[in-house]
A and B are shown apart, each in its own frame.
Chain A
Amino acid sequence: MMAQVEKVVNTTPNIRVKTRKSFLTPKNAPYFFIGPAFLLILIFSVYPVISSLILSFQEVRGVEKSFVGLANYSRLFHDPIFYKSLLNTFQILIIQVPIMLFLALLIAVGLHSSMLKGKAFFRISYFMPAITALVAASIVFMILLDEHFGLVNYFLSSVGVESIQWLTTPFWAKVSVIIVMTWRWTGYNMVIFLAGLQNIPSELYEAASIDGAGKVKQFFVITIPQLKPVFIFTVVMSTIGTLQLFDEPFILTHGGPNSATMTITLYLYETGFKFFDFGYASAIAYVLVLITAVVSWVQMKLVGDLEE
């Protein structure tokens, strides 16, 4: 007993002596490791989030700030362009995300099926758009979709379709934004689905075949339920991404024509950095926070209900 205690007492100082070489001990080391991240997040995330909330209750004129209560928020309620930006964002969300995820799933299933050769090549090709800057993608499509001489209208006219005023009419401008987003992100989601498909244990399919289930039945009974977590992940990520849509409409249409492609973030940018109306822009930002929280909560809730 005594000998054991002595041993313990003896070894502890030994370790101390050795670690004294560096100023860090296992006790204070975590603060050193976390320090830089902590400081940066405090200054560049926590402070701005709080400051922005305060700003949203203020009016900013030059360097002078004065509290105006809820004036910025009540102004939002009467701002037709803000309503339009909300509506546009949600229209794009509701149309683009399902189309994109459907295409991504379709391609993933196609590539996953064993009969296809050159899978690696196709996988890379489809993923390629995801490496381009949104700015670059938008510029290329801006030129492709030019209403007079664009390549897309040229191909359409060669099959007898009248040329479309892609970027200059409200309806088609939205379609154009949706096209660019779909081009840029389908392959990205496809690779996520593909990984999900590859993670489904093959025993499940083998067991199903033994039970006499056909390919189609297997798809609905095994593939779809097994992909559910992956599917939820892509829906939530795409939704959050779309709520923050900025680059594509900024480059393609600058929010036009007649605010048809104005999005929440684009409106925030214009209010804040074109008109320097910081208070109002902060209110827009906080409404975006609220919307993101509510939409994410609803999606989580839906998933939870489905699970029960």
Chain B
Amino acid sequence: MITSKKIPAKIVIYILVIAGAVLSIGPFYWMIVGSTLQSGDIFHVPPKLLPGDYLAKNFQSLNESLGIGKIFWNSLFIALVYTVVSTLISAMAGYAFAKYKFKGKNLFFFIILCSLMIPYQVTLIPLFELMVSFNWLNTYQAIILPSLASPFAIYLMRQNMQAVPNSIIEASRVDGAGEIRIFFTIILPVVRPALAAVSIFLFMSQWNSLIWPLITLNSKEMFTLPVALSSLIGMARIDYGQLMLGTTLSTIPIMIFFLLLQKHFISGILGGSVKE
């Protein structure tokens, strides 16, 4: 009796869960297939659900209309430099907040919390004016610098640094290690998991960011991937094969990383808010 009751419920759950999974991954599959089809074939009736042979052609035309190599490089360079520097800056600040007593600490931490809560939209216009006055439009630093000190990352690093025992810091001081050396050789290795989570979070937010690059970049050769893709839509005649290839190229590298580093990735994207 018990088993005959349980099996149907099990089957129903399986069907629902599988259907949900198909809905989640389906668009990825279709995006990849679309990147191998000619623009018109993407809307073929009945739909073509298997890869075609137009990938090279799509790449060629995408490269002609955008210079996809340069754009990919822009996105990668910006995201990498941003991630490395921002992670370091937030680890340093987080360390100071967690392990030192100093004048102005509370005031500055209050400022961090405020900037954590205020919507970024407020800063867009003055930042744009600032970029204009620095003559920084269409530069890498315009994309990287304004968000380089991430209040969220600082907050997260502070939380993680607090868990590091004071005794190991004091012991190294007695051994004569300087403050910088303690930070780099003792502290950073201990908080490695937090560094991984924070850097994945920062990389993803920069790699995917649209509105700020959209505002500060207007010359094609400086575009990042999201800006370039949004510019393809604005064209009079949209080439959908190109568009699908562009979205595939912006997604696949992240997907590979994700599949390789699932756990770090999930906790990174969730901003370390979930401990597993």
Contacts and interface: CB of A to CB of B under 8 A. Distances in A.
Interface stretch (B53-61, B107-115, B191-199): B107-115
A280 to B, nearest CB: 10
Contacts of A25: 179
A175 interface: no
B27 A144 contact: yes
Size class of the contact patch on chain A: 35 or more
A273 B125 CA distance: 9
Interface string A3-38: 000000000000100110110111101111110111
Given A26-B173, A136-B247, A124 B262 contact: yes
Contacts of A240: 119
A192 interface: yes
A224 B104 CA distance: 42
Contacts of A113: 13
B99 to A, nearest CB: 8
A49 B230 CA distance: 28
B254 to A, nearest CB: 5
Interface stretch (A80-88, A90-98, A264-272): A264-272
A285 B127 CA distance: 13
Given A52-B123, A136-B250, A183-B24, A44 B147 contact: yes
Contacts of A191: 266, 270, 274
Q: Which of B6, B20, B34, B95: most chain A CB closer than 10 A?
A: B20
A49 B179 contact: no
Given A40-B89, A133-B208, A48 B229 contact: no
Contacts of A195: 274-276
B273 A192 contact: yes
A220 interface: no
A165 interface: no
B243 to A, nearest CB: 6
Nearest to B31: A140
Interface string B37-67: 0000011111100000000000000000000
Given A46-B115, A139-B229, A52 B122 contact: yes
A135 B250 CA distance: 10
Interface in A278-305: 278, 281-282, 285-286, 288-289, 292-293, 296
A24 B180 contact: yes
B43 A150 contact: yes
A247 B250 contact: no
Most buried by A among B90, B154, B211: B211
A33 B92 contact: yes
B100 A133 contact: no
22 contacts: A21-B176, A22-B180, A30-B101, A34-B96, A49-B123, A52-B125, A52-B126, A113-B13, A125-B21, A133-B250, A133-B251, A134-B210, A136-B251, A139-B244, A140-B247, A142-B233, A149-B45, A191-B266, A244-B121, A269-B211, A272-B124, A273-B128
Closest CB pairs A-B (n = 5) = A149-B43, A22-B178, A30-B100, A40-B149, A48-B126
